[in-house]
Each structure stands twice: as structure tokens, then as C-alpha cells.
A and B are shown apart, each in its own frame.
Chain A
């Protein structure tokens, strides 16, 4: 419930102004609220960040050293674009990531390429450019920490992180 309350609160302050570093939603409502009907802010509320994360899908994955969007990635991004168009009160920061097989600085550049590929696709799919920013974390923020392909495949990702506010101009 704590997550739900927080998500609801964030929605109440929507539109409070765009700032250079909008507060990001973390795993709001993850695992909670399922099957409870459209509880506002829960994963069953189609206008909630939790729904975006869990049902729309907030991330796409890449092949080694590539920033090309796979068919599966394009499918996810089309759903993201549709959701963003339906929920104009949200902006997003697209985080680009790389696996640990690469040097720190090259991977920062590679993560930026991936984030930008997602940003460009979303813009072409009709999302206003001003609502989308990118940031690269290179190999600094893996989500899976083993040192083999099962983890690397999860880490080569771009994550669309929602933030409150209609975007930066």
C-alpha cells in the first residue's frame, strides 16, 4: 500500500512544473494491486506508471554492441508510444545501458546510442520530442550481476522511466 499511496501522491502533483531532473518513478506498485480492479495508481489502473512498467513494458533489449531495435523491441515501443500519447501528463527519461563487457567510456557512448534509438522511434511514433530525454549509464547500473550472457542480455537495455510533468521544452 505504501507504494500505491506514493504513486497516487505523485499523480496529484502532476504538472507542477518541469525541471531538469524530474523525479523518477521507481517500481511503484510492482507486484501489488493485481486483480483489485482499477485502484488508482495500481498496476491495474491503465493510466498508472505501474501499468506502464508491467503491462506496456518499460524496457527493450539489444544485441552485443548494437543499438538496432529488434522486431520485439519495436512492438514494445509502439505500445509505449501509444501509452505516452494517451497519458500526456507524463514525460520520460530513456536510460541506455550496456553490459560489463566493454570499457567504461565506450559503454557510456553505446548506452547513449541505445537510448537515442528508442527516443527517435518514440518520436517517429508520435510522442512529442519535448517529453523525452535520454541518459546513458553505460555499464554502471546493471540489473543482473552475474558475469555470463544470461545477465548480460538483461543489462543491454533501454528503459523508459516515467516522470511527472509534461516535459521540458
Chain B
């Protein structure tokens, strides 16, 4: 992402039209759990010069795939169009789009040059109200960042129709797996949220587990057996440099997560068989022991305001979720249902906590309010674990493992409504996703 930042640093966002945005009836309420996806038409963006022809087509496809992948939108196939868009500037023939039942129309144009500069413009129309929805937007950057510009267009469309921030211009760091179950090789990998632009961050010489993005997406904390013993490492995404975190003495440090300001880390440290939660600055200073119990305390995750930490503990006899002040102190149990609760993760919106629940031989990804009320299970399978939130707090990605000797790990995503469960494409078996913030 630091590679792209300079390219997009000068990302120009220019208003194309002076038509004032207005409240429009074209709207999806995500929380309702959409049953009928909103139909949209997306004629391939217009190439403004010959060099842009292929790029225009590809960008259009990425925008459409982003929207369809949410489960909230349905694309009307171009073969159904009764009108063609020949110019980005020409007036919209609303009747032609209404005739095919398109509720939203997305038009765009793409230009390449000078040099490797790529410019993408788009407009969004509410067909039934016969009016633009928001103003036209223009993005420009390096041609190599074309997918990011497509994702930004889709984020803008999603934002205008749902009233929520999008999540398409984001990345996922995860563990790429290979080899048999009893000699599994694992390495860190990073990719766009949709599986594109995969890049490996470590080789598979040492077992690596559970990477977690920093709040700005530029660094990753993870657990590695590089020294022969599990230890937390910090990796810089841009230059792939890594270093062991200077944790206090102990047998094993693991389960790290950044604080919301990116300056400190909460993690588990095991000494003499007992695991407790600690906090320290990334440079090793300011170590604070946050729990002090003979039980297992692990999986800490900060609230977005940095004031509280949710974690799991088996102090009651089985793993349950607890919330404590970020400086330590009295912890309040928030999970009370049947089964075992682990890997709590606070939503970036602050309203929900996602978790893994194990009950009656099945695993679930679920969400509850931060006081433990309104628990809802979103998935059920032989083994689901390790939720991570989309930057807008509306989608959760997690690991699903299939049963048996040939069982494999894969990444899945599900909406917090429980709808739109789908597999996230990876080149091979994969686990432990961590979703970046919007770039």
C-alpha cells in the first residue's frame, strides 16, 4: 500500500458536474437484510482515447463485480440493454433504462495518458427519479493502480446508495497454506479484498499464524516459529522487513493486536504454562500486565475508541468473552450462551463484537452487542473461526476448515445480516484473514 500511496497521493478528485446532490429514493438499508438485490446497469465505461479501450472494459468489470459481490446489487446483462451509451457527456435516456428495470445506471469514461496516467470518471443516476445521484467524480493515478480506481468508483456508488462507507479499496493479509495436514506449510500473503494482486510476505520456512493489520494498513503483527518458539513479529508491508517484537521474557508470545492509535500492542504471553494478557509500546517500553489469573486469557481486541479491551478467558471453566478497561482492572463477562466463545473482535464501528463460538460439535461465527446482548450466529460449519471486520463493519471474513484427512482451509465472507455467505478467492488453501482499513 505504501507502493501505491505515492501513485495515488496526488489522487485527483474533481467535480464533473455542478448538479447539486439531493436526497433520492434510491436507497438500500443494509441492516434490513436485503432479499431482492437492487438492479443496476453498467455499460462498459467509454474509452476516451484508443489506449484506454481495454482498460475501460476491465475497470467496468471490476466495478460491477464489487457491487454484485455484496449481494445487495444485481447487474442487468448488457445484452438486455435497449439503449447504448456512446458518449459520457450525452444525456441519459431514462426511459430506455427504466424499460429494462434498471434502478441505478452507472456510466463512466476512462482516459490513458499522458504517460502512464490513468483518469477514470463516473456518474451515478437514479433511473426511477430520473436524476443524477450525487455529482460526477473523477479519479486519476498511475495506470498500475487501475484496480484501486475501479474499487474507488464502486465504493462511491455503494456509499451513495447505502449511505454507508464502502470497503472495496482494501486489502487482506492472511496465511497461505500448502502441504498435508500433518506437515502443513504456512506463509504470510497479502492481496486485494477480492483476491487480486496477491503477494507473499514471508517464505514457508517457519510456521506463521494469525497476521493482524495496523490501523493504517502499513504494518502487520503476526506470530512466527522463526526462532523455534512462538513469538510475535512486526512486518512492514511496503518493504517486507520484519523484526521480532521485544516482548517480556516468557515461553511464548502470541495473539497480538494493535491499539487504535497504532502505537501499542495487546497480546498474550505464556509463562510456566499460564497465559495472560499484556500491553506494551511497539518498542518494548511501557509493559503493563492486564490480567493476572491462573486461567487462559487470550485473544485481546481493542474497542475503536481505545478505552476497552475484549478478550476470552476460561476462568469460569470454559472460554467466555470478557470486557475490561484498556488499562486492566475488573473484567465483566459478556457471553452467557451455551458453548465456548473465542477470538472476539471489536467492530470498527464500535457497535458489535464478532466471535467464534463452538457448541454441540459445530463452529459458528457470530456477533453480539458490546454488552453481550442480541447474540446472533451468522454461520455454522465443521470449523469456522477467526472473524475479521470489513472496514465499514458490515461484512466479516473468516477461516472455514473442511472435515477429514483431506480437509482444507479457505477464506469466507458473510454479511452481518447472515446473508451473502461466499468464498473469497485465494490461489490455494488459506486461513487467518485480517482485513485492512480503507486505503
A interface residues (Cβ-Cβ under 8 A, vs B): 20-21, 65, 67, 100-106, 108-110, 112-113, 115-117, 119-120, 133-137, 140-147
Return B133 CB to nearest CB of chain A, in Å.
43
Residues 221 to 260 of chain B near chain A (Cβ within 8 Å): 223, 227-230, 251-252, 254-255
27 A–B contacts from the bound complex (CB under 8 Å) = A102-B342, A103-B385, A104-B385, A105-B254, A105-B255, A105-B342, A106-B296, A106-B314, A106-B342, A108-B209, A108-B270, A109-B268, A109-B296, A112-B252, A112-B273, A113-B273, A115-B273, A117-B273, A119-B273, A134-B273, A135-B228, A135-B229, A136-B270, A140-B207, A145-B181, A145-B182, A147-B404
Assess the A136–B298 pair: CB atoms within 8 A: no
Residue of A nearest to B318 (CB): A65
- Given contacts A21-B228, A106-B298, A140-B209, A67 and B273 within 8 Å (CB-CB): yes
Q: Which residues of B contact A21 (CB under 8 A)?
A: 227-229
Q: How many angstroms from the CA of A144 to the CA of B207 in the assembled complex?
A: 19
Assess the B405–A145 pair: CB atoms within 8 A: yes
Assess the A104–B432 pair: CB atoms within 8 A: yes
Assess the B230–A101 pair: CB atoms within 8 A: no
Q: Which residues of B contact A146 (CB under 8 A)?
A: 404-405
Q: Which residues of A contact B138 (CB under 8 A)?
A: none
Q: Which residues of B contact A116 (CB under 8 A)?
A: 272-274
Q: Which residues of B contact A145 (CB under 8 A)?
A: 180-182, 405, 407
Q: Which residues of B contact A115 (CB under 8 A)?
A: 273
Q: How many angstroms from the CA of A140 to the CA of B385 in the assembled complex?
A: 14
Most interface-central of A20, A21, A108, A143 (chain B CB within 10 A): A108
Return B13 CB to nearest CB of chain A, in Å.
41
Residue of A nearest to B223 (CB): A108
Residue of A nearest to B342 (CB): A103
Judged by a CB distance under 8 angstroms, whether B401 is at the interface is yes
Residue of B nearest to A106 (CB): B342
Q: Which residues of B contact A140 (CB under 8 A)?
A: 184, 207, 209
Bitwise interface map of B from 328 to 360 toward A, beta carbon under 8 Å scored 1, else 0:
000000000000101100000000000010100
Assess the A112–B401 pair: CB atoms within 8 A: no
Residue of A nearest to B382 (CB): A147
- Given contacts A67-B273, A113-B273, A117-B273, A102 and B268 within 8 Å (CB-CB): no
Assess the A110–B296 pair: CB atoms within 8 A: yes
Return B156 CB to nearest CB of chain A, in Å.
37
B interface residues (Cβ-Cβ under 8 A, vs A): 180-182, 184, 207, 209-210, 223, 227-230, 251-252, 254-255, 268, 270, 272-275, 296, 298-299, 312, 314, 318-319, 340, 342-343, 356, 358, 382-383, 385-386, 401, 403-405, 407, 432
Q: Which residues of A contact B407 (CB under 8 A)?
A: 145, 147
Q: How many angstroms from the CA of A147 to the CA of B401 in the assembled complex?
A: 11
Residue of B nearest to A136 (CB): B252
Assess the B270–A112 pair: CB atoms within 8 A: yes
- Given contacts A20-B228, A140-B207, A147-B403, A109 and B298 within 8 Å (CB-CB): yes
Q: How many A-B residue pairs have CB under 8 A?
A: 104
Q: How many angstroms from the CA of A142 to the CA of B343 in the assembled complex?
A: 21
Q: Which residues of A contact B182 (CB under 8 A)?
A: 141-145
Q: Which residues of B contact A134 (CB under 8 A)?
A: 251, 273
Partner of A103, one of B207, B272, B386: B386
Assess the B385–A113 pair: CB atoms within 8 A: no
Q: Which residues of A contact B270 (CB under 8 A)?
A: 108-109, 112, 136
Assess the B255–A136 pair: CB atoms within 8 A: no
Q: Which residues of A contact B298 (CB under 8 A)?
A: 105-106, 108-109
Q: Which residues of B contact A133 (CB under 8 A)?
A: 251
Residue of A nearest to B273 (CB): A116
Q: Which residues of A contact B356 (CB under 8 A)?
A: 103
Assess the A113–B184 pair: CB atoms within 8 A: no
Return B400 CB to nearest CB of chain A, in Å.
13
Most interface-central of B270, B342, B358 (chain A CB within 10 A): B270
Return B334 CB to nearest CB of chain A, in Å.
17
Q: How many angstroms from the CA of A63 to the CA of B385 in the assembled complex?
A: 22
Return B322 CB to nearest CB of chain A, in Å.
14
Residue of A nearest to B399 (CB): A104
Q: Which residues of A contact B181 (CB under 8 A)?
A: 142, 145
Q: How many angstroms from the CA of A154 to the CA of B296 in the assembled complex?
A: 23
Q: How many angstroms from the CA of A103 to the CA of B345 in the assembled complex?
A: 14
Partner of A105, one of B228, B299, B318, B401: B299
Assess the B358–A101 pair: CB atoms within 8 A: yes
Residue of B nearest to A102 (CB): B358
Q: Which residues of B contact A109 (CB under 8 A)?
A: 268, 270, 275, 296, 298
Q: Which residues of A contact B404 (CB under 8 A)?
A: 146-147
- Given contacts A104-B386, A105-B210, A140-B209, A135 and B251 within 8 Å (CB-CB): yes
Extra A-B contacts (10), CB below 8 Å, given A109-B296, A134-B251: A103-B358, A105-B298, A106-B314, A109-B275, A112-B270, A135-B230, A142-B181, A142-B182, A144-B182, A146-B405
Residue of B nearest to A147 (CB): B403
Assess the B299–A135 pair: CB atoms within 8 A: no
- Given contacts A67-B273, A140-B209, A108 and B342 within 8 Å (CB-CB): no
Q: How many angstroms from the CA of A136 to the CA of B253 in the assembled complex?
A: 11
Q: Which residues of A contact B401 (CB under 8 A)?
A: 100
Q: Which residues of A contact B255 (CB under 8 A)?
A: 105, 108
Assess the A108–B254 pair: CB atoms within 8 A: yes
Q: Which residues of B contact A102 (CB under 8 A)?
A: 340, 342, 358
Residue of B nearest to A146 (CB): B405
Q: Which residues of A contact B252 (CB under 8 A)?
A: 108, 112, 135-136
Residue of B nearest to A21 (CB): B228
